[in-house]
A and B are shown apart, each in its own frame.
Chain A
Amino acid sequence: MAYSNKVIDHYSNPRNVGVLDKSDPNVGTGMVGAPECGDVMKLQIKVENDVIVDAKFKTFGCGSAIASSSLATEWIKGRTVDDAMKIRNTEIVQELSLPPVKIHCSVLAEDAIKSAIADYKRKHGQAATTQQQEQQTQQQARS
């Protein structure tokens, strides 16, 4: 299978690989996927005044999974939390020209963003929004 240049670029020079202090109240951590399925993404955000000022990731997965999470961190940096929630996996698919068999990588990246935001909100006593409940239902449907 041939990879798109953007996938190769993110795979070869991943943006924002690393770790944020998960005990920091301003840091939200999301981990999605499963080793048995061949991909696990860990995505962390640091939020100040409702804006994501930093994002880091670590991914176990194929090149497309690494590229999807790398792109996700790039896109959410500088966005407000609500804005980051609006990122859809289809935009990732389009940007990276992912083939159909790799769509789940983009879904996982979207889930990782939402999971990190949910963790941040939990730390700040905010209940899960309807959108997150919706996403959980979707996730159950997929598994």
Chain B
Amino acid sequence: MRKPIYLDNHATTRLDPRVLEAMLPYFTEKFGNAASRNHAFGWEAEEAVEQAREQVGRLIGAEAKEMLFTSGATESDNLALVGVAEFYKEKGNHIITAPTEHKAILDTCHMLEQKGFRVTYLDVDKFGSIDLNQLADAFTDKTILVSLMAANNEIGTLHPLGEVGRLTRERGVLFHTDATQGVGHMDLDVEAMNIDLASFTAHKIYGPKGVGALYVRRRKPRVRLTPLINGGGHERGMRSGTLNSPGIVGFGAAAELCRVEARSEREHLVALRDRLRKGIQGELDFVHLNGHPTERHPGNLNLSFAFVEGESLIMGISDIAVSSGSACTSASLEPSYVLRALGVGDDLAHSSIRFGIGRFNTLEEIDHTIKRVVEVVSRLREMSPLYEMAQEGVDIKTINWSAH
């Protein structure tokens, strides 16, 4: 077993060796610019890019022509929101989203609000799910866009994209989904779900960093965007800049593997994820699951270990790479805004750990993780004044703490 064990696959994934192999020639002998129309170097690169465009599109049921390549999901999210807002501002100025979206969406929405757009943030329940009735009521005649993520990056909760798409289509409102975590891990079909725009990136599906995609529907309706990056008119004029052909080839190869292996991979992830959860909860009490119990990303397990602070737990399990919603692991000193939106108390948000299981994780690694987590949580609880109080039957909520 190789250590440290990587269980942070929502942050990024290891490049699949088969993807690297596909990419390598495009760094060396096949180095052409895909926009060079007058020689073989250019044609070779263009052909590879177009094949990748088809592979990436096929993963979400889209046609090659509908896929734009970008630098990553953050750029795709920015382009979708700002591009639609700018282009359709005469039609309306209202956008609907949720407070649990990624910062690439939320910060862009805040920027648009400063420019005079109005944004509705739907409520989420304790699992992070939206209420479709509230969404239906939130539309106004000024609504131009709904943006809701496929799978949440922290808690794994899936949004009901099919139902959302039905509501947006009925009303002639565009529907964007940030599918960064969801793609490859759930059924995602832009036709069946009436999705008009979708963002995702290669490095979350075992492809390279620095390359993303934005699906932009071409027909029924044809979606238009004002570009963020202007220049040579690449990508149907919506995203200029020389294409990162090795990265795009890698993205295509990664998407193809994801599509072909989707079913077996999902089974693998769910088996490991459920084993991890049962193993931990079988040994420790006061362990809470964050996110939806069933409607969730197959590789996501987000747990709060009451009475233990997340960063100290991460420090203890130093041979396992995970992430925490604790403030201490971020620069902001605020606990996870996603857990807060779910109504998880700040104390439990500080105690949360996100396990992100991926393609390359093994049963052996999961069993080792269970053992280490149980050991370290038990040790830290022995030195936790909060655990001691809980054992004595004191409810920590009733104490008048001095906030600092």
A125 at the interface (CB under 8 A from B): no
B85 to chain A, nearest CB (A): 36
Choose, from A62-70, A74-82, A85-93, the stretch at the interface. Answer: A62-70
A54 CB within 8 Å of chain B: no
Task: Indicate the size class of the contact surface on chain B.
Answer: 20 to 34
A60–B315 contact, CB under 8 A?
A: no
- Does A121 interact with chain B (Cβ within 8 Å)? no
A-chain residues with CB within 8 Å of residue B309 when the two chains form the complex: 38-39, 60-62, 65
Q: Which residues of A contact B401 (CB under 8 A)?
A: 33-36, 40
Report the bound CA distance from A11 to B388 in whole Å: 19
If A3-B315, A61-B309, A62-B309 touch, does A143 touch B385 (CB 8 Å cutoff)?
Answer: no
The minimal Cβ–Cβ distance linking B380 to chain A, given in whole angstroms, is: 8
| Contact (Cβ within 8 A) B385 A58 | yes
Interface string of A118-130 (1 = CB under 8 A from B): 0000000000000
| Minimal beta-carbon separation of B335 from chain A (angstroms) | 7
How would you classify the secondary structure of chain A's contact residues: helix, strand, loop or mixed?
mixed
Would you give the shortest CB distance from A92 to chain B, in whole angstroms? Answer: 16
Min C-beta distance of B328 to chain A, whole Å = 4
Q: A33-B401, A35-B396, A61-B309 are in contact. List 14 more A-B contacts (CB 8 A).
A: A11-B312, A11-B315, A35-B386, A36-B345, A37-B403, A38-B347, A40-B385, A40-B386, A41-B385, A60-B309, A60-B385, A60-B386, A139-B402, A143-B402
Q: What is A's interface to B at a CB cutoff of 8 Å?
A: 3, 8, 11, 14, 17, 19, 31-42, 57-63, 65-66, 101, 104, 107-108, 139, 142-143
Q: Which residues of B contact A (CB under 8 A)?
A: 307-309, 311-312, 315-316, 326-328, 331, 333, 335, 345-347, 350, 382-388, 396, 401-404
